[in-house]
Amino acid sequence: MRRIHSSELRWCAARRLLSRLRSRLVEVVRDIVGPLVGALRPETPAGARSFPIAFVPAEFPAHERNSQMNDSRAKYRFSIGPWNISEGRDPYGPDTRPTKDFAWKVERFKAGGFDAVMFHDDDVVPELDSKSSKAVLREARAVRKAVEDAGMAVEMVAPRLWFSPMTVDGGFTSNDPAARRYALDRSLQTIDIADALGTQLIVLWLAREGTYVRESKSYRRSLELLVEAVDSLLAYHPKVRIAIEPKPNEPVDVAYLPTIGHVLAFANMTSDPQRIGGVVESAHCVLAGLEPADEIEFALTPRKLWSVHLNDQNGLKFDQDKPFGSVNLRSAFDQVRVLEREGYGRDGEFVAFDVHSFRTTTIEKAFDHAVNSRRTFLRLLDKVRSFDESAAQALIEQRDYQALDQMVIEHILG
């Protein structure tokens, strides 16, 4: 065994001491300088470390900032998709509600207090695979007019890559080169549609990019294919920004980008990481066994949360897309708290609800779940703003987490 000299021990102790002193010095400087910087830039939480500017997309904000930014309630702007008013079908039974057209839906979006619409490419142009590019763009411009006439904006467009017979085995990572070409062409067309709608935000939910049978694909090869595809989208339009929405499973058994951590690591493999961000959906985090508030905060820290799909999920089962807060009110409170604390929305981001009506709901009430989700968000926002942060801090300093736990419960119970 190697003998350790006392001089070596002294050197190790000195190094530990130096490292402790350095951390202490960093803390002291942060405590003094942090609040000063915070006072100059009120959106930055006091003492928070700001991440290198390279993480902030150069073109942000793409949307106009809310002119009523000072009205605390108006600070958040809400988004919803046409697919959030569904026909109620599930794998065991047919539709329970009639199909409604976009005009019917947009009227309800507006009346329900929503500011923007999120779209799939074929929500904008139904059956787009059978139409010419010219016809697609003409229809897209008509939808833009309908949205603008309602006084709303378009938040994002997502290519629906999981429905076509071409993408049975996935899109970008299919083993069939023709299917890969289809997925890429369709996504490039989504960028054209987004352009016509006046947004530069593309959302990629990589539904079938994963495996049903592990041995059928190589993860490394699939990542390379995904990077290639995303690089082609970035090269196609210099201003487009891509927000990837992770989900661990369903429809596939195991997805390639299951969490926001995977998404941000993936971003760094692409040719322009600054133009890749993420969308965190509450239910998807629960399906991954993770806390949605933490996943949201993880993405917010380097300013990579470009949209959020708030909803709820009762444990590990099929994706439920329940109304926000309907299962875990405390987690919903924590999600709103991190959004508020980190100044979400200051760069023009929307709060989207990816929620579905219950199958039992009638058409007359087929939008109530979205209106209720927004209402719950705003009520929780009041709770967040009236939460006694200094009392909480005092309990943290005493390490009385039991009292802190009860304080949160009592506060939510009101």
Give the nearer residue to ligand GLO in terms of CB position, either 229 or 395.
Answer: 229
- Burial of 180-196, coded b for 16+ CB within 10 Å and e otherwise, reads bebbbebbebbbbbbbb
Using CB under 6 A as the binding rule, the residues of this chain from 345 to 374 that contact ligand GLO are: 354
What are the tokens at 414? 């009101």
369 in catalytic set: no
Smallest distance, ligand GLO to C-beta of residue 70, A: 31
Give the position of tokens 């509600």.
Answer: 97
295 touches Mg ion by CB under 5 A: no
CA distance 268 to 274: 9
Q: Are 158 and 205 in contact (CB under 8 A)?
A: yes
122 touches ligand GLO by CB under 6 A: no
Residue 158, helix vs strand vs coil: strand
31 in catalytic set: no
Residue of 120, 262, 284, 309 with catalytic role: 120
Q: Residue 220's Cα: distance from chain center in Å?
A: 25
The item of ligand GLO, Mg ion, none sharing an interface with residue 121, based on CB under 5 to 8 Å by kind, is none
281, 295, 312, 319: which one binds Mg ion (CB under 5 A): 281
Using CB under 6 A as the binding rule, the residues of this chain from 131 to 190 that contact ligand GLO are: 158
Tell me the sheet residues that pair with 52.
none
Smallest distance, ligand GLO to C-beta of residue 158, A: 3
| The residue count for the chain | 414
What are the tokens at 82? 């046409």
The item of ligand GLO, Mg ion, none sharing an interface with residue 158, based on CB under 5 to 8 Å by kind, is ligand GLO
Integer-rounded Cα radius of gyration of the chain: 24
121, 245, 297, 312: which one binds ligand GLO (CB under 6 A): 245
Phi, psi of 310 (to 5 degrees): -80, 135
Size of the site for ligand GLO (CB under 6 A): 10
The DSSP secondary-structure symbol of 242 reads: E
Give the nearer residue to ligand GLO in terms of CB position, either 140 or 158.
Answer: 158
CA distance 144 to 410: 46
Smallest distance, ligand GLO to C-beta of residue 393, A: 36
Using CB under 6 A as the binding rule, the residues of this chain from 260 to 289 that contact ligand GLO are: 281
| Percent helix / strand / coil, the chain, rounded to 5 | 50, 10, 40
Residue of 122, 123, 319, 334 with catalytic role: 123
Smallest distance, ligand GLO to C-beta of residue 224, A: 23
- Residues tagged active-site: 120, 123
Q: What residues make contact with Mg ion under the rule CB under 5 A?
A: 281, 309, 354
Q: What residues make contact with ligand GLO under the rule CB under 6 A?
A: 120, 158, 203, 205, 245, 247, 281, 309, 319, 354
